[in-house]
Amino acid sequence: MTTTPRELPGTTPAAALTDLTDLTDRAALASQPVGYWTWVANKAVIRHIQSAMARTDVTQPQWWTLNHVAGAEDGLTREEVGDRLRPFIELGRELIDNAVDHLLARGWLTEGADGRLRLTETGREAKSRTKDLVTRLRSEIHEGITDEEYAATLTVLQRMIANVGGIDGKDPRGGAAVKTTLR
């Protein structure tokens, strides 16, 4: 059974894009909905990263946990791991605990009597292997994109986030919580 990608008015379905260089009309690009394209980019990038990590038997939450624990001189408690990850990702407490439990079971982390998690030698080796993978993935994702283009993209996205009141709907600039005027 074949399915066709859902087409939003004024968009070219992502699956139909085989050569982005065909999209040279700036007016047409400027009229494209940012929500659609950020969603498509998010799905594609996350799929790529998660697929590559799955082939090495590591999940993103496990990688993030290894990375944060390794960066803490005295290790971290489970709660501190959660506190560090929650502002950046939408993980429930269970998913973070699950990542910690798996890393403990694999012998990549150890938990001291003080409740602090620390990397084992095997964990440091796994972190190093995963770091190499993450570096390669970043290179693949950024292929053909200059640092200036990447920085400009992030700057525009950050400005759009602020324009709509931030991620939680509260304007960090002290303005209205949610804009309601149409332009």
Residues 6+ apart with CB under 8 A from 172: 162, 166
Q: Is residue 1's pLDDT more than 50?
A: no
The stretch 123-133 carries a mean pLDDT of 96
The stretch 93-121 carries a mean pLDDT of 94
The stretch 99-109 carries a mean pLDDT of 97
d(CA 23, CA 151): 21
Q: What is the DSSP letter of 5?
A: P
Q: Which of 139, 130, 66 is nearest to 104 (CA)?
A: 66
pLDDT tens-place string over residues 28-72: 888 899 999 999 999 999 999 999 999 999 999 999 999 999 999
Q: Is residue 91's pLDDT more than 90?
A: no
CB 65 within 8 A of CB 81: yes
The stretch 4-14 carries a mean pLDDT of 46
CB 118 within 8 A of CB 110: yes
β-pair partners for 118: 110
